[in-house]
Structure 1
Amino acid sequence: IGFITKTFMNQMEQFAGTFLQKAIIYVTYSAAYILIAGDVLYAAFKNIRSGRFFDEKFLISLATITALIIQYYDEAIFVIIFYKIGELLQNYAVNYTRKSITNLIDIQPQFATVIVDGEYVEMEPIQVVAGDIIIVRPGERIPLDGVVIEGEGSLDTSALTGESLHKEVHTNDQVLSGSINIDGNLKIKVTKIYQDSMASRILDMVENASSLKSKSENYITRFARYYTPTIVIIALILAVLLPFIIDEYTLTWKNGFQESIMTALIFLVVSCPCALVISIPLGFFGGIGGASRQGILVKGSNYLETLTSVKTFVFDKTGTLTKGRFVVDEIISFGDYKKEEILDYAAHAEANSPHLIARSIVDAYGAENIVESRIQSQKQNSTFGLSCIVDNKPILIGKGDYLSKEGLVVPSLDRIGTKVYIAIDGKCEGCLLIKDEIKYNAATAITALKENGISKTIMLTGDADEIAEEVSAELGIDEYYANMSPLDKVAKVTEIKNQTPVNDKVVFVGDGINDAPVLSRADVGIAMGGMGSDAAIQVADIVLMTDDLAKLT
């Protein structure tokens, strides 16, 4: 509006140069300027109050305000528009970061059932104290850390450990808040108040871990520390000295200092680092856009810069290097039954069990091949095994300890993986070895990373040591650490960072809610987008949208 008004009035002699024209132009341009540059002016003001006078916001503000004063209206507006375009593009890339971690609320227990004088009383977890006895029914989430004093069951700890395999617990076993009780009533003696329990600590760590991440100082801000005061000083020198050294100027206000100040302000406007302010964000934005077309979401330009200094890759196991899906890896027969027959009896025995291991056995056999009429008297005797009758033959299936307690001789096996033994007609006849399937291109990705200059690869897992050793050996990973909780992983990554040279950076690659704290603790956190939890994806700095590990290279 101001530009059109100015142009129109300049064509009309009765308005050209009048006070009315100047007033209309000044009001319209000033209003537009304040609307566009308000946040920049406020930021410059805050920096001045905090003692940081010379930065790019100060220079932009000083140049554009003085341009308005000397009636360079268009130049003032377009300078701030170009600056804001650069900031907008940069903010679009950088601020596409962590959303709220509302998905983590799923691991936060909403209530605890406390036994008080023989009665069940529901309380908020924060009201429960150490020493209280709580009961957790099937399907409920354990509200506080504690020790099982009565009952046995299996727990879904995937939100804490990332491991899909359920954890069997019985009397005197420790349990962590955030775990889900799959079956069996558990009486638990609380050992930690809510603030110190695992679920609360994970939530707190994710909320605050970002503050621990070292933030690269923006290049333009560093440059402006020296550039801005230099430009301001030169402008002041020009404003003061030009009337003394230029013949056309006099030592009066109108024909001397007014003109010299105008020249100094023009110099100030021309010297604004708009090219840098716009080109650098655009360069990073182009890189982020190119990555997104390859299925890689980069949430900020600073992470692109950090990746150039990465020398260490740390991986979660389940869901990252492996598929997080259990499969029957091997079937061993101890007697006269063929492997196909062992699988047949095992699948029918486990046909109606919801356990993940049971499902993997049924899947290996084929759910469509199950004949329900062959199955009789199926009974879950404990969380470690079950009994039933298949084809009029008594079947016991489960862990070796379960069969041993039933008085059967269980052959020892030197195999790595989860072992499911099956007894037919009172004799242990076979074993099914269950493993988590390794992703098809995991080994290739590890090799490619090393070829591209990564000096060390490390795997962290909540799984057992022998399983971790086998996976790391198969993939060619340099180091591994097993039996780790989310907090152990954070501590280990912190230790790795402390042992890494200052200029070398550490990347963590994970997928589950339990990985969210350590994703934030690493210099760069990379989440697997396809199967990864929403919390991990939101907290991560980079997301592989197709779960393809090859994109790491």
Structure 2
Amino acid sequence: MKNIDCANCSAKIEKKIQELPEVDDCILTFATRQLRVYSSEGTKLLPKMQEIADKIEPGTIIEVREEGKPADANSNDKHAHDLPELIAGGLLFIVGELLSHSMPQISAICFVIAYLILGREVLLTALKNMKTGHVMDENFLMSLATIGAFCVGQFGEAVGVMLFYRVGEAFEHRAVEKSRSQIMEAVDLRPETVLLDENGTVREVPAGSAVVGNIVEIRPGDRIPLDGVVVEGESRIDTSPITGEPVPVSVKVGSQLTSGCVNTSGLLKMRVEKELSESMVTRILDSVENAAASKPQAERFITKFARVYTPFVVALAAATAIIPSLITGNWSHWIYTALTFLVISCPCALVLSVPLAFFSGIGAGSKKGILFKGGIALENLKAVKTVVMDKTGTITKGNFVVQTILPAGTASEQEILQIAAACETASTHPIGISIVSAAKDQKLVIEKPAEIEEISGKGIHARLSQGEVLCGNRKLLTEFNVDCGAYDENGAVTTVYISVNGKLAGTIQIADTIKPEAKDAIRSLKSMGIRSAMLTGDGEAAAEAVAAEVGIDNVYAKLLPADKLEILQKLRAENGSAMFVGDGINDAPVLAGADVGAAMGSGADAAIEAADVVFMTSSMDAISEAIKIARSTGAISNQNVVFALAVKALVMILGLMGIASMWLAVFADTGVAILCVLNSIRILYKK
């Protein structure tokens, strides 16, 4: 939508379109100027919707958004003529004030001309709206208040109030546009063009025209335009725009590249793996826009409250004008007081304050690699009392690493590792891969077995230069009558036994690696008064060892996916609102069942799809960061509402006491709206 700059009007447009019989649902997001209409009629409804918009806010344009194109954050030209009118009206107002005592007739003429320049659009819009029955909008109320001021002889005040109102509106518009563009620029990292390499010839083409398999050149300093894989060159990549992590990542041939990151050093050539519509930059933009359209309960409440607030204040103004005047006979004073009430009866500051606060919170999260899928997720997250986590891939890295090599005979640690790696060369099991990786890291020569047999669930039986070799669990060696001695298995690690020619040569202990930030992340949650729990399908010894190291409060091991959901519900009943963090396919039901489900960005697509929040960094630090953003967002939203209502109530009280002027009433309307906007975007700059 173009040219819509009134939050209260957007709420009215949304309500009227929702009432159309052909419409199943409608969501108008003022923060992104997106109108989503769910109807089988499709674009046939455009004329009806345009008619509704014209009646409520003239000049608003509803148009079908092009596929893949974001909402235009700067598509508003209604205020292009503001400055000339404000200058002309302001000068005439000053002249009128200067001549008010010496030349009252000329002063009055200056005031009338100034009023017509400044209030022309307001008056015309109010007249148009009266014809369609929309009399409770800000244009009608401002017209009534200022014309009333003329009627009671307050010429200068009427013009001054209209001038102040127009200045406030211009500043409010500018503040909203600035905050909107700041948030959208932070998340819209999509490129306009890419450098397409065609057999050595490089040419610039629109990013949307690049297809899977194309080779794209990325120069030092360029933002990676699409998701792909490096086919030529080496460099370091700044991933902070996507993950929020400031540490550069080295890439070479075969490395995956994520769109939105920045190439900091060498020239790269990349093969496109995903087109623009499917690349990470588009997914992030879509996620933020969709999130903004998901309205929290606080926003829905304040929109309903605004519908009651304005009629109530107008009724109060009418009562103030009539009842005290009949008692005191001072009609001029009480009518003037009633006019101040009319000025502050517009609920724009209230209707604007909540959605913009949540939109800013969503934008702040995206800057740190945290994708909130809606204002509801933020609203629920601030109330979380317990964070429940899966172990593998969430608390641990999900990749097995060789921890210890224990020789049992004359063979050295390196010889044992060489023998095990030779047996595991063809293995796709994480444990086998970790053994081969450890041997390669030590630059050991890995022999190719003369014979090899994989025994399901137990290990490998192979023939090497050393003779007959067994590499697997204790059951494998027992099956071949190999004495394993008095080796006690440590439940916190996986033990691989190696025997050569029927004698135990040694053991290799392998364990999943705990994420380095895990301990600090749990400590941070505890400092926020949040309990932690771990759910895992692993054995009790391994689970207890991980929990003890990072400081988790409760541990539940040997669980099936259905068990995880049952325990989550139990924890929620005991402690209150619960958040679940996971990354696997089997975590999807628990993610969907939690008050807030969060998925690691490196996890399975099913988990990411089911989650309310996605941590692009896959870092545990993001958990407490997300909760802090949610709490800050909720606090700012509450501050805006309380501040707006308190100032308006105060001005009403001062008006009844004969202290407040219409000037102060204008501040209570547009001035408060500006301050709420500025308070909302504060979260974007919090460290």
Query: Structure 1-normalised TM-score?
Result: 0.57
Q: Does 1:40 align with 2:12?
A: yes
Q: CA deviation at 1:276?
A: 1.6
Q: Which residue of 1 aligns with 2:353?
A: 279
Q: Deviation at 1:280?
A: 2.9
Give 1:367 shift: 7.2
Partner of 2:312: 230
- Pairing 1:292–2:292 present: no
5 Å-filtered alignment, 1:47-196, equals: 63-64=136-137, 67=140
**Partner Cα separation in structure 1 for residue 395 and residue 295 of structure 2:** 27
Who is 1:136 aligned against? none
Q: Select the residue among 371, 375, 389 that pairs with 2:449.
A: 375
The Cα shift of 1:509 comes to 1.9
Match of 2:596 among 504, 519, 524: 524
Structure 1 partner of 2:438: 364
Q: How does 1:393-542 map onto structure 2 within 5 Å?
A: 393-411=467-485, 412-416=487-491, 417-454=493-530, 456-501=531-576, 505-529=577-601, 531-542=602-613
Out of 586, 601, 619, the residue aligned to residue 548 of structure 1 is 619
In 1, Cα distance between the equivalents of 2:365 and 2:448?
Answer: 55
C-alpha distance after superposition, 1:6-55 (max 9, x if no partner)? xxxxxxxxxxxxxxxxxxxxxxxxx999xx96873462586899xxxxxx
**Paired AA for residue 537 in structure 1:** I
Q: Do the aligned partners of 1:87 and 1:278 also contact (CA within 8 Å) in 2? A: no
CA distance in 2, matches of 1:490, 1:215: 25
Cα shift at 1:518:
2.1
- The 8 Å contact of residues 508 and 525 in structure 1, kept in 2 or not, is answered as yes
Distance of 1:214 and 1:470 partners within structure 2:
42
Match of 1:338 in 2: 412
**Cα pair 2:522 2:551 within 8 Å, conserved:** yes
Q: 1:487, 1:93 → 2: CA distance?
A: 40
1:320-335 alignment to 2 at 5 Å? 320-335=394-409
* Residues 221-273 of structure 1 deviation map (CA, whole Å, 9 limit, x = unaligned): 47447635523643675799899899999xxxxxxxxxx9xx99996675121
Q: Distance in 1 between matches of 2:295 and 2:412?
A: 59
Shift of 1:487: 2.5
Q: Structure 1 residue 370: deviation in Å?
A: 6.1
Letter in 2 for 1:363: S
Hey, what does 2:73 align to over in structure 1?
none
Q: CA deviation at 1:364?
A: 0.9
**SS of the counterpart of 2:450?**
strand
Tell me how far 1:539 sits from its aligned partner. 3.3
What secondary structure does 1:323 align onto? strand
Query: Any stretches of 5+ residues in structure 2 without a counterpart?
Result: 22-29, 31-55, 58-133, 147-161, 185-293, 625-687
**Which residue in 2 is equivalent to 1:311?**
385
Q: Name the aligned partner's letter for residue 414 of structure 1.
A: E
When residues 240 and 538 of structure 1 are mapped into structure 2, their CA distance, relative to the original with a 3 A threshold, is farther
Structure 1 pair 273–38 and aligned structure 2 pair: CA distance change class (3 A): closer
Identity across matched positions, percent = 39
**What's the CA shift string for 1:456-489, capped at 9, x where partnerless?**
2100112122211111111111111112233222
Which structure is higher in RCO with an 8 Å CA cutoff and minimum separation 6? 1
CA contact (8 A) 1:409 1:428 kept: yes
Cα deviations by residue, 1:75-109 (Å, 9 ceiling, x for unpaired): 99x99xx89x989999x999xxxxxxxxxxxxxxx
Contact 1:527–1:543 at 8 Å: present in 2 too?
Answer: yes
- After TM superposition, give the deviation of residue 64 of structure 1 in Å: 3.3
Amino acid at match of 2:419: Y
Q: Is the 8 A contact 1:64 1:269 kept in 2?
A: no
Provide the C-alpha distance between the structure 2 equivalents of 1:368 and 1:40, rounded to a whole number of angstroms: 69
Partners of 1:489 and 1:228 in 2: how far apart? Answer: 49
Secondary structure of the residue that 1:431 maps to in structure 2?
A: strand
**Distance in 1 (alpha carbons) for counterparts of 2:347 and 2:597:** 33
SS at match of 2:495: strand
Rounded to whole Å, the distance in 1 between the matches of 2:318 and 2:424 is 86
User: Alpha carbons of 1:451 and 1:331: their partners in 2 closer, same or farther (altered >3 Å)?
Assistant: same
The structural deviation recorded for 1:373 is: 5.4
| Corresponding residue SS for 2:392 | coil
Q: What amino acid does structure 2 have at the position aligned with 1:337? A: A
Partner Cα separation in structure 1 for residue 307 and residue 4 of structure 2? 29
1:541, distance to aligned residue in structure 2 (A): 2.9
Q: CA deviation at 1:433?
A: 1.6
Residue of structure 1 equivalent to 2:208: none
Could you list the per-position Cα deviations for residues 200-232 of structure 1 after superposition, in whole angstroms to 9, with x for gaps in the alignment? xxxxxxxxxxxxx99744352474476355236
* Structure 1 unmatched ranges of 5 or more: 1-30, 50-56, 95-212, 250-259
Structure 1 residues 538 and 266 mapped into 2: Cα distance closer, same or farther (>3 Å)?
farther
Q: Which residue of 2 aligns with 1:193?
A: none
Task: Name the CA distance, whole Å, in 2 between partners of 1:87 and 1:281.
Answer: 14
Q: Secondary structure at the match of 2:471?
A: strand
In 2, distance between residues paired with 1:546 and 1:323?
12
Structure 1 residues 506 and 46, CA, compared in 2 at 3 Å: closer, same or farther?
same
CA distance in 2, matches of 1:243, 1:48: 44
Q: CA deviation at 1:392?
A: 4.4
Structure 1 CA distance, aligned partners of 2:412 and 2:295? 59
CA distance in 2, matches of 1:88, 1:399: 63
Deviation at 1:311, TM superposition (A): 2.8
SS class of match (2:385): strand
Structure 2 residue aligned with 1:349? 423
> Does the aligned pair in 2 maintain the 1:347–1:370 contact within 8 Å?
no
User: Would the aligned equivalents of 2:370 and 2:622 in 1 still touch at CA under 8 Å?
Assistant: yes
**Residues 393/542 of structure 1: CA separation in 2 closer, same or farther (3 Å cut):** same
Letter aligned with residue 494 of structure 1? Q
Q: Do the aligned partners of residues 277 and 377 (structure 1) sit closer, same or farther apart at CA in structure 2, a change above 3 Å counting?
A: same
Superposed displacement of residue 338, structure 1: 2.2
Asked whether the 8 Å contact 2:471–2:497 carries over to 1, the reply is yes
> Which residue identity lines up with residue 338 of structure 1 in the other structure?
S
- Distance in 2 separating the partners of 1:332 and 1:215: 57
Change (3 A) 1:366 1:499: same
Q: Is the 8 A contact 2:421 2:446 kept in 1?
A: no
Q: Is the 8 A contact 1:67 1:269 kept in 2?
A: no
**Residues 340-379 of structure 1: CA deviation (Å, up to 9, x unaligned):** 2211111111112222211111011117956565521112
TM-score between both structures, scaled by the size of structure 2: 0.47
The residue type paired with residue 516 of structure 2 is: Y
Alpha-carbon spacing, 1:381–1:541, altered in 2? closer, same or farther (3 Å): closer
Task: Tell me the secondary structure at the aligned position of residue 394 of structure 2.
Answer: coil
Give the counterpart letter for 2:410 in structure 1: D
Matches within 5 A, 1:192-211: none
Quote the Cα distance in structure 2 between the aligned partners of 1:239 and 1:37: 27
Q: CA contact under 8 A between 1:374 and 1:391: conserved in structure 2?
A: no
